[in-house]
Amino acid sequence: MTQPEPIPVRVRPEIAELAPYRQGRQAGADAFKLSSNENPFEPLPAVLDALASASAVNRYPDALANRLRERLASEFGVSIDEVHIGAGSVALLSQLITAAAGPGDEVLYAWRSFEAYPTLVTTAGATSVTVPLTDDARHDLPALVDAVTERTRVVLLCSPNNPTGTVISQAEFDAVIDRFPADVLVILDEAYAEFVTDPDAVDGTRVLAERRPNVVVLRTFSKAYGLAGLRVGYALGHARVLDAARSTAIPLSVTAQAEIAALASIDARQELLERVADIAERRDGLVAALRAQGWRVPEAQGNFVWLATGEDTLAVADALHEAGLIVRPFAGAGLRISVGEHESVEKLLRIAASVVKDLP
Ligand code: PMP
């Protein structure tokens, strides 16, 4: 690759080295896009109607999205100050990390996990410390506790873990949570919570009920609620911690449209959760069928599956791309494939069956 032409503007050296967020390949008209864990269903008419009635775009939105905060506060049985809305949960991650960690501080998380974590930590000026996943692609919680130092300011726990789909169990979480120092912020990133069917999985709402001031739970309307394009997520936690996040937020970044669509989605929750149950069932069928073909697939609790294709990852991704399935390759590690339309699942299984025979 050729070096970019130098410019006189000084950029922080760690930022100059940072690659911008990569979305993966975009799908052509007749390809299935299974690369971003989006919801394959069209928005509900009630949500589209609410959007059409959203306030005029010449006005700024309500800075704190208070109607949505109030609604979520009553849903979760917390006070409005214990809810904070962001332009996607990735914005909330950024705010919380920036609020708690800066130069000289460490942010601890399992790896491999959500690709945005290292970028957000570097952007905050802090240092990432990672602990490998176990052989079955799960968080190693005792090892995470052991990796805490006096510089650790934030611990990121992702359940279900993107991209491997595995969950932290409630028992594993309960066994370690009090071993993290009380002044370290623990963020439980539950972007895929609604897809979880494992009754033993950690549940942010149960965690919240214990009211630990250092634990924040993150959720989003992007996945189960199908509003990825509108950018809206929420944090639940101690009011003072969320105040710190509010202080670091880019002002007015949650649009009125995002707020109104989120409210309409909560109203339509029953119907949306039926779709979620459909996807979870499709996911379980897909995992069973892939395992029957001989693939090693870890437990999948999000709306995606992980194929540990190792050195063959890019070749398998190419075979799938050629067949019109756009998936997310992580070179040298594996493929993350979203559970999409029925037809895409059938096609995936057909291609996967022919590819698995060629693997060493
Ligand atoms: N956390 C995890 C684990 C994710 O996979 C994602 C999206 N890929 C996010 C957070 C951010 O989602 P959003 O900003 O759309 O809410």
Q: How many CB atoms lie within 10 A of CB 174?
A: 13
List the structure tokens of 331.
Answer: 């070179």
- Per CATH, the number for 23-43+270-358 is 3.90.1150.10
DSSP at 222? S
Over residues 344-355, the pLDDT tens digits come to 999 999 999 987
Q: How many angstroms separate the CA atoms of 234 and 191, rounded? A: 10
List the structure tokens of 79.
Answer: 């006070």
Distance from the CA of 39 to the center of ligand 1, in angstroms? 13
Which residues, listed in sequence order, are joined to residue 110 by a DSSP beta bridge?
A: 131
Ligand 1 pocket residue status of 162, Cβ below 6 Å: yes
Among 237, 266, 220, residue whose Cα is nearest residue 88: 220
Over residues 196-207, the pLDDT tens digits come to 999 999 999 999
Ligand 1 pocket residue status of 188, Cβ below 6 Å: no
Over residues 254-280, the pLDDT tens digits come to 999 999 999 999 999 999 999 999 999
108: amino acid identity, one letter:
L
Pick from 22-36, 76-90, 247-261: least confident? 22-36
13: amino acid identity, one letter:
P
Ligand 1 pocket residue status of 302, Cβ below 6 Å: no
DSSP at 82? G
Output the DSSP codes for 207-270: HHHTT-TTEEEEEESSSTT--GGG--EEEES-HHHHHHHHHHSPTT-S-HHHHHHHHHHHHTHH
List the structure tokens of 145.
Answer: 């506790």
Provide CATH 3.40.640.10 ranges for the chain: 45-267
Ligand 1 pocket residue status of 233, Cβ below 6 Å: yes
Ligand 1 pocket residue status of 90, Cβ below 6 Å: yes
Q: Which atom number of ligand 1 is nearest to the Cα of residue 114?
A: 3
Q: Which atom number of ligand 1 is nearest to the Cα of residue 90?
A: 14
For 45-267, give the CATH class. Answer: alpha beta
Mean pLDDT estimate for the chain: 94
Over residues 215-258, the pLDDT tens digits come to 999 999 999 999 999 999 999 999 999 999 999 999 999 999 99
What is the predicted ipTM?
0.99
Q: How many angstroms separate the CA atoms of 237 and 246, rounded? A: 12
Distance from the CA of 83 to the center of ligand 1, in angstroms? 18
pTM of the entire predicted model: 0.95
Cα–Cα distances (Å) from 252 to 60, 65, 85, 258, 337, in that order, read: 7, 9, 11, 12, 34
Cα–Cα distances (Å) from 124 to 127, 214, 301, 330, in that order, read: 9, 19, 30, 24
Ligand 1 pocket residue status of 76, Cβ below 6 Å: no
318: amino acid identity, one letter:
D
Among 263, 271, 93, 76, residue whose Cα is nearest residue 191: 93
Ligand 1 pocket residue status of 227, Cβ below 6 Å: no
Ligand 1 pocket residue status of 234, Cβ below 6 Å: no
CA–centroid distance for 318 within its chain: 25
pLDDT over 80 (residue 24): no
Which residue's CA is the nearest one to ligand 1's atom 1?
191
Over residues 125-147, the pLDDT tens digits come to 999 999 999 999 999 999 999 99
Over residues 93-121, the pLDDT tens digits come to 999 999 999 999 999 999 999 999 999 99
Q: How many angstroms separate the CA atoms of 149 and 113, rounded? A: 21
- The sign one gets for the Cα dihedral 54, 60, 65, 71 is negative
337: amino acid identity, one letter:
I
Provide CATH 3.90.1150.10 ranges for the chain: 23-43+270-358
Per-residue pLDDT at 42: 86
Name the strand (E) or helix (H) holding 152. strand 152-158
Three-state DSSP state, 132: strand
Three-state DSSP state, 167: coil
pLDDT band of 19, cuts 50, 70, 90: confident
